[in-house]
Structure 1
Amino acid sequence: MNSETNAEPGVRIANLTKRYGAKTVVDDISIDIERGEFVTFLGPSGSGKTTTLSMIAGFTDVTSGDIEIHDRSVSAIPPHKRDIGMVFQNYALFPHRTVRGNIAFPLERRQVPKARIASQIDDALDMVYMREYAERYPQELSGGQQQRVALARALVYNPAVLLMDEPLGALDKKLRDWLQGEIKRIHREVRSTFLYVTHDQEEALSLSDRIAVFNDGRIEQLGTPQELYESPSTLFVGTFVGDSTLVRASDAQPVAGGLTEALAYGRRVAGRGSLTGEEGAVLIRPENIKLIPADAPTPDANCALPVSLLTATYLGEAWRYEFRLPDGSIGMAKVDGATRTLQPGEEALAVWAPDNAVVLSYDDRHDQFRT
């Protein structure tokens, strides 16, 4: 979590539910977000993340539960009285207004004195590096420039909370990466509470203090980017957040050191966890797998499985290998170094240290695995 947050309540969601007829889209979720925190709602399409953001904004009615902003319930308050800013994927700029006119609009709606409007607009333009474009119209700007104007318009009146719904989804990767850095910089400067929706796990990892991973209308896990990547609590989280190799295993037994051992393809394998007698899977991140020749001795205390190499892709700083496990499933390893030592078609051993893996168990609620 951001060390600069002051631990005061920013947004509190309590038992929030949204139903459309018999269909439950958001299912009894609760989350406390600190003032000044950057929290991302991450999940696939239809997981409930955008509906949750829309209820916080006031655009979608709540079926049950409550939403508080700065210790004030806003569930029955109209959107324009919730002290929030909103940035959309499609920018939503007024085509007949200049950049300056677009940024002025929320100040005019709030009847800010004209003497203050000009200086607040200039401050907002400087924040997004758009002062020289102040008299241009939206159609005269690039997509990235339009999104910066939308961001300035949402922040010009210093809202308590800024909501962003897939704001970079329409931009190319290079521009998206650059704007991610700009959003992080602006968050540090304004210190407002930011709530961000995306289905892009790399974007979520890059931007967030914490991430709420949505699945099937519920929050599957809430944690820091490092917690979600290194210690996923479910197979859904582990496979949605980052690349991974999954080794199916059975007869799980806890052993010393907070580890679980299980049987996979006739070999004992291990990872962090404390399962007993369950079917499960060992999840290993690609950078934590080493590939060695099939006839090489296995390093002490490490796990090893025989694999067949399928592809080798040069990434500049590393090689990414895809390989086939004994049951036919596909795994991945990312090996540092510019020299390729193994070739596609070779037999090899995939090796990992148990501390660098996680053992997950089966749960038929999602037809997935869980710790």
Structure 2
Amino acid sequence: MEISASMQKAFSTAEETGGEYCKVGDHEEPIMSDDGPLANDLHLLKLERCRWWLLVVVNIFFLVAGQASAVLLGRFYYDQGGNSKWLSTLVQTAAFPILFIPLFLIPSSQEASASSSTPSFKILASVYLFLGVLIAGDNWLYSTGLLYLSASTYSLICASQLAFNAVFSFYLNSQRFTALILNSVVVLSLSAALIAVNDDSDGLSGVSKGKYILGFVCTLGASAIYSLLLSLIQLSFQKVLKKETFSVVLEMQIYTALVATCVSVLGLFASGEWKTLHEEMESFGQGRASYVLTVVFTAVCWQVCSVGVVGLIFIVSSLFSNVISTVGLAVTPIASVIVFHDKMNGVKVIAMLLALWGFASYIYQNYLDDSKARRMQGAGDETRNDSVC
């Protein structure tokens, strides 16, 4: 959270000085009483913190609600007769123009954007093109997995992305491998393994054991690629873009989604699935209007999720955004049991508990790292204040 210089001075002065004067330069200035400027600055600081927490909560809601709703609508599309994997892939990025609204309405930090030079168009285009194609392939794998798995099983397998993210972050982003992170990787791997040995094919009519295995492999592969994408995006911000302002983060989301959408459209036509869309709509279980609404709202929900992802990256960090995204996967199995009456047998319950244990280990390690960073920053601020007061 950005805190103004005057509020920082007031806050540090109130904590560190027990007297009534503070030396500034070669003279002393009086510390005002509780009803003076100091009290006003502290009141503004409190309002800023409340506003920051409100934004965090709102973006968490966007991410979790958008993600869960999109997965449930995707499962509903397949249950009611939909069968196009490329259409399911397309809707995951097709509503990206929604992201232009916050891009135009919310200004970005000018200081951060002026601190480094902008990479050339050729480099930017290469980064966006490569990541966009990878996103399209990843979305296709997710769509294939959801076609052959129940929503609860699909979401529990997706939880393995946190373990993959720890591994890729270690090699690509120099993240430390602590005991808690290792515990998270092992526990989440065990959770995915339990789902693998649990024959869920009875949960979906017409799905053979072979298709169930295919769905499991595709979902697991998609989770690994998604984690790789997160690490590559973070690496792009560090090495190529060299800044992480609100506008730059949004542009990354928009242009990679544009490329992924174009690839999905090409896949839809190249596979010939576009020829069956009219028949799908006519034979859809809940009617033509429901078919159109399902496709449209699935696309909108994915972009609501993207708004939450971008918001948390900008307000907190990309790591925090990924953790919340993964924790949000625990909501979908519960919702799928309520909406689709998915079977929640003992194996799934144990897998969910293991996943929550893995989440908790990962989040606690992030909490420890954040607390350590804050203490180091606080020590640096105290050193600077001692040289002034």
Which TM-score band (shorter chain)?
under 0.3
Q: TM-score, normalised by structure 1?
A: 0.25
Flag the structure with higher helix content.
Answer: 2
Q: TM-score, normalised by structure 2?
A: 0.24
Flag the structure with higher strand content.
Answer: 1
Larger relative contact order, structure 1 or 2 (CA cutoff 8 Å, min sep 6)? 2
